[in-house]
Amino acid sequence: MRQDTKMTVSIRALEHAYGELRTLDSLDLEVAPHSVIGLVGPSGCGKSTLLELICGLLEPSAGTLDVEGGRTAAERLGRCAYMPQRDLLLPWYSALDNATLGLRNRGLAKAAARAQAGELFGRFGLAGFERTPPAELSGGMRQRVAFLRTLVSGKPLLALDEPFASLDAITRAEMQEWLAGALRTDPRTVVLVTHDVEEALYLSDRVAVLSARPARIVAELQAPAPRAADRDAAVTDPAFVAVREAAMRALREGSR
Amino acid sequence: MKRWLLPALLVALLVGAWQIGSSTGAIADALSLEPFLIPSPAEIASSLWENRSLLAENAWVTLREMLLGLGCALIAGLGLAALMHRSETIRYATYPLIVASQAIPIVVIAPILVVWFGYGILPKVAIVALICFFPITVNALAGLRSTDPSAIKMMRSLDASGWQIFRRVETPNALPNAFTGAKIAAVLAPIGAVFGEWVGSSAGLGHLILQDSAKLEVAREFATVVVLSAIALALIGLVALAERRVVTWR
């Protein structure tokens, strides 16, 4: 990676603690524009905390965070779209109205917001489900609406916190393929937190392995075939398997 | 079918037994009472019909007290719940007071309200509002505070202002709880109105019962109870109906 590239995210000597509990320990990280970085680590290591720090939902104890030139929490908040672990679709709104939340919050009229988000429904395999309440959608569809809601907000950085953790194995693989496809046609800068090494290596350009709390980066790995069209072939490729094993080793050593 | 038929059958059975027991004088004998003190359902029904305009007049008085009191309690209760939710200072300052206010029996406050506001509608509305206010406030506040913190983070990340989070997430989230509070209040409102009338009044169903009791007009007393129960049930039904129309996602 060239040094002169303007990074979308740059993090320097970041530290964070909840009272006495230190969660992050002098962490450095950079994310290039239109690239996907995967963050993997043991449960409870502070991955989600790091994501909330990047998104401006939390303030660090020390160090600097820069997202597209925004350094304060409020500036970072305006530049990141955060997609939480569960889809958190609001049950009192239809699928379409959930997708328009970000636009509506920014003051766009209901009709205009619906038109703008509605255009994407077909591309996301959700055509015909605009008026459906979230409770009547399948898990995969709910996740796609949640992703659509994140995407439509038009923020430069997408922060995804274990987006597919609540799905069954088959749906999860389908959703990974689907997200890879969506990012191939519409490249975005993404920070992806997951505990699934395979998911991280398939969807990301680069994967950072975090240690147990207080988290620091113990390894950074280049993914061999980011977002390949044929997922099954990509994840069984010997090069992919080798990197996956290296990541698993780093994860195990970091957990100690 | 079963849900309607079974309770209807039970009511029919009880009313039938009462009819037989009272017309043969069996209940009066068992309780060692004069038979005219135990009116039969048929006598109550005919009293209901004969006194229909008197009952309607007084029912309207009591209903107005209940609705006005309930309305005041809803406005004050929901407003205060929203304030207590937005401001920790207000919540800490007022919560113990609100709970403590419920420890004071309404029985001792009611005569004071009559001294202050006289025999008109005002003390009754105040009593209804006072007892309905608590369940509405406490339940609405619990609903507002039960909002998923992750949903608020998601909304903040989608550029929501505090007001937008309140309107689009916290308020809808609190609605089921708020309706629970309103249903409890609807149960309490008739009790408050009748009690307010007992302390001092010149009209209303509670006033009528008190007068008939002194005159041993037992059949009309029962007829008044029937009317009061019907109003109370209608009120609860109305709140439940509103809940079904508003909270469509449950």
Question: Residue A209: what are its φ and ψ, rounded to 5°?
Answer: -95, 125
End-to-end CA distance of chain A: 31
* A101–B contact, CB cutoff 8 A: yes
Least CB–CB distance from B249: residue in A81, A85, A135: A135
pLDDT at B164: 95
Chain B residues whose C-beta sits inside 8 Å of any chain A C-beta: 148, 150-151, 153-161, 164, 168-169, 172, 248-250
Contacts of A149 (CB under 8 A, 6+ apart): A83, A89, A98, A99, A100, A101, A102, A117, B158
Domain that holds residue B232: 49-246
Least CB–CB distance from B158: residue in A52, A56, A81: A81
B120 three-state secondary structure: coil
Taking residues B102-114, report their average pLDDT.
87
* A152–B contact, CB cutoff 8 A: no
- Give the separation between CA B169 and CA A89, rounded to whole angstroms: 10
> How many cross-chain Cβ pairs, A to B, lie less than 8 Å apart?
60
A215 three-state secondary structure: strand
**Residue B227 counted as domain residue:** yes
pLDDT at A170: 87
* A195–B contact, CB cutoff 8 A: no
CB atoms within 10 A of CB B86: 15
How would residue B245 be classed by pLDDT, with cut points 50, 70 and 90?
very high
Closest Cα in chain B to A157: B157
pLDDT at A12: 87
**Residue B68 counted as domain residue:** yes
Domain A9-89+156-255, second-level architecture: 3-Layer(aba) Sandwich (3.40)
pLDDT tens string for chain A (256 positions)?
444 458 888 888 888 888 888 888 888 888 988 999 999 988 877 888 889 999 999 888 888 888 888 888 888 998 899 988 888 999 999 999 999 999 999 999 999 999 999 988 888 888 899 999 999 999 889 988 998 999 888 888 999 998 888 888 888 888 899 889 888 888 889 999 998 899 999 999 999 998 888 888 888 888 888 888 888 888 888 888 989 998 899 888 887 7
Closest Cα in chain B to A103: B158
CB contact under 8 A, A88 and B151: yes
CB contact under 8 A, A80 and B157: yes
* Domain coordinates in residue numbering, chain A: 9-89+156-255
Q: What CATH code is carried by the domain that includes residue B218?
A: 1.10.3720.10
pLDDT at A38: 93
A119-145 pLDDT, tens digit per residue, is 888 888 888 999 999 999 998 899 889
**Residue B106 counted as domain residue:** yes
Whole-prediction pTM: 0.84
Number of domains in chain B: 1
CB contact under 8 A, A101 and B158: yes
**Residue B182 counted as domain residue:** yes
- For residue A37, the cross-strand partners are A191, A206
- For residue B81, the cross-strand partners are none
The ipTM value here is 0.85
Least CB–CB distance from A88: residue in B148, B156, B248: B148
Least CB–CB distance from A102: residue in B148, B159, B248: B159
The residue whose two tokens read 């109870």 is B225
pLDDT at A5: 59
**Residue B65 counted as domain residue:** yes
**Residue B32 counted as domain residue:** no
- Give the separation between CA B62 and CA B218, rounded to whole angstroms: 20
